[in-house]
Amino acid sequence: MRTQIALEPEQHVQVKQKAASLGITMAEYIRRLVDRDLGRVDTNADVSAIVGIGSSGGSDIAAEGTVMAVAEAVATLRSRE
């Protein structure tokens, strides 16, 4: 469903910057905020609990700094449930 909202100019700038820093659209960023506020997504989940569970003999994704990417992927999947 499409919804239109009005943001203050500074809010718009900050939302756009935050979404860009996360590599997502403004719409996805706002959907995540709404989901978090409504208690639909546990954004405080400790993703490090699943990092390194298995060993493929490859690289350590935590060492490569991609833990946040994994956390965002998990949150996105949960938001689709």
DSSP assigned state of 10: H
Domain ranges of the chain: 1-40, 45-81
Distance CA 47, CA 62 (A): 10
Report which listed range, 27-31, 48-52, 61-65, 69-73, is most confident.
27-31
Instruction: Write the pLDDT tens digit of every residue in 67-77.
Output: 666 677 777 77
Instruction: Write the pLDDT tens digit of every residue in 9-45.
Output: 999 999 999 999 999 999 999 999 999 999 886 555 5
Contact 22, 72 (CB under 8 A): yes
Name 71's Cβ contacts closer than 8 Å, sequence gap at least 6: 45, 47
* CA distances in angstroms from 38 to 33, 42, 80, listed in the order given: 9, 10, 14
